[in-house]
């Protein structure tokens, strides 16, 4: 049998048993509470002016350091942007210099091409003129023997006296043909060289003989066997002449006067000077 009293004692013990956490909570509740204000005031009383000034200075320094760091970061960004812009500017300047150089080269090539074109145009024009002159000169040179034959025929007819009217008319007709041919050649700048009585000029005269003449100046053309011809400033055929010798020397002051009076002699001398 169980004894009721003992059971009741065990129940009382269980009822009176207290957990440790509950004991600590109770002990904490029994302790007096301390407010935060009391803690704050407990750490120290009011700050002294020196401490307050030190705290203000520390706050200022901290603000200045933060501002310096922020300014340094901004300055770094600005420098990076500046460097990038400088690189772009340098690249653009290089492009500009390259474009200027290309423009200068193109201008130089244009000037050279223009000069080459002008030279080519003048050269081709001169060549065309020279070609025409050579063609005309060849034709004139081919016609000169015909003119010589006409002049010989006229000289022979003049030396022969004839009362035949038809013969005289024939001679007049040949003379008219001769005059027309000379007129046509004159339009092309062709003129005869007939230096009888003039000083001998080696550039336009060809000496085929010498004749002694003490009355005439030395080196004077005594007779023309064949007329010469000049086309412009060029002698296309020299005159075949005989030259005197044995006479007095020609005065130096008369040579220019003779050359100025003789247009046919002046032109060959100018041509000779141009050739020199």
Residues 175-213 have pLDDT tens digits of 899 899 899 889 888 899 988 888 999 888 989 989 888
Helix (H) or strand (E) holding 231: strand 228-231
Burial of 259 (0-12, 13-18, 19+ CB in 10 A): middle
Q: Are residues 218 and 170 in the same domain?
A: no
154 pLDDT exceeds 90? Answer: no
Q: Are residues 184 and 195 in the same domain?
A: no
Residue 201 domain-assigned (yes or no) = yes
Q: What is the pTM of this model?
A: 0.47
DSSP-derived pairing of the beta strands 205-212 and 239-245: parallel
- pLDDT class of 275 with cuts at 50, 70, 90: very low
Residue 194 domain-assigned (yes or no) = yes
Average pLDDT over residues 203-225: 88
249 pLDDT exceeds 70? Answer: yes
133 pLDDT exceeds 90? Answer: no
Q: For residues 162 and 100, which has the higher predicted lDDT (pLDDT)? A: 100
Residue 242 domain-assigned (yes or no) = yes
Which of 145, 171, 188 corresponds to the end of one domain?
Answer: 188
Residues 215 and 181 sit within 8 Å (Cβ to Cβ): no
Residue 168 domain-assigned (yes or no) = yes
3-state SS assignment for residue 172:
helix
Which CATH number characterizes residue 212's domain? 2.30.22.10
**Non-local CB neighbours of 55 within 8 Å, separated by 6+ positions:** 47
Domain that holds residue 141: 115-188
Number of domains in the chain: 2
Written in H, E and C, the secondary structure of 42-88 is HHCCCCCHHHHHHHHHHHHHHHHHHHHHHHHHHHHHHHHHHHHHHHH
Average pLDDT over residues 57-65: 87
Computed over every residue of the chain, the mean pLDDT equals 77
Q: Are residues 146 and 173 in the same domain?
A: yes
How far is CA 55 from each of CA 46, 50, 64, 73, 100, rounded to the nearest angstrom? Answer: 14, 9, 14, 27, 65
Q: Are residues 206 and 142 in the same domain?
A: no
User: How many Å apart are CA 229 and CA 204, to the nearest integer?
Assistant: 9
- pLDDT class of 263 with cuts at 50, 70, 90: very low
User: How many Å apart are CA 253 and CA 251, to the nearest integer?
Assistant: 5
Q: Are residues 180 and 133 in the same domain?
A: yes
Q: Are residues 163 and 151 in the same domain?
A: yes
pLDDT of 105: 92
Which of 188, 211, 228 corresponds to the end of one domain?
Answer: 188
Residue 173 domain-assigned (yes or no) = yes
Residue 243 domain-assigned (yes or no) = yes
Q: Are residues 120 and 182 in the same domain?
A: yes
Q: For residues 43 and 95, which has the higher predicted lDDT (pLDDT)? A: 95
pLDDT of 45: 57
Q: Are residues 204 and 231 in the same domain?
A: yes
7 pLDDT exceeds 50? Answer: no
Which of 188, 212, 240 corresponds to the end of one domain?
Answer: 188
Residue 148 domain-assigned (yes or no) = yes
Q: Are residues 163 and 213 in the same domain?
A: no
């Amino acid at each position: 049998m169980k004894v009721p009293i003992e059971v009741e004692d065990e129940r009382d013990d269980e009822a009176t048993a207290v957990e440790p956490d509950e004991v600590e909570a109770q002990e904490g509740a029994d302790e007096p509470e301390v407010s935060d204000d009391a803690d704050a005031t407990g750490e120290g009383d009011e700050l002294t002016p020196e401490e307050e000034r030190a705290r203000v200075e520390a706050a200022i320094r901290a603000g200045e350091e933060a501002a310096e760091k922020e300014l340094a970061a901004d300055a770094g960004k600005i420098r990076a942007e500046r460097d990038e812009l400088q690189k772009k500017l340098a690249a653009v300047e290089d492009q500009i210099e390259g474009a200027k150089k290309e423009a200068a080269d193109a201008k130089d090539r244009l000037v050279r091409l223009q000069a080459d074109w002008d030279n080519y145009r003048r050269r081709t024009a001169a060549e065309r003129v020279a070609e025409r002159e050579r063609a005309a000169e060849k034709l004139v040179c081919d016609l000169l023997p015909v003119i010589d034959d006409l002049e010989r025929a006229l000289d022979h007819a003049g030396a022969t006296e004839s009362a035949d009217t038809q013969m005289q008319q024939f001679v007049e007709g040949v003379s008219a043909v001769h005059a027309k041919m000379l007129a046509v050649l004159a339009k092309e700048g062709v003129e005869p060289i007939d230096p009888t009585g003039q000083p001998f000029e080696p550039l336009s005269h060809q000496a085929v003989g010498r004749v002694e003449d003490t009355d005439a100046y030395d080196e004077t053309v005594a007779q023309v066997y064949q007329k010469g011809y000049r086309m412009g400033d060029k002698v296309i055929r020299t005159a075949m002449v005989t030259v005197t010798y044995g006479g007095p020397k020609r005065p130096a002051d008369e040579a220019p006067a003779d050359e100025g009076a003789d247009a046919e002699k002046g032109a060959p001398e100018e041509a000779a000077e141009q050739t020199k």
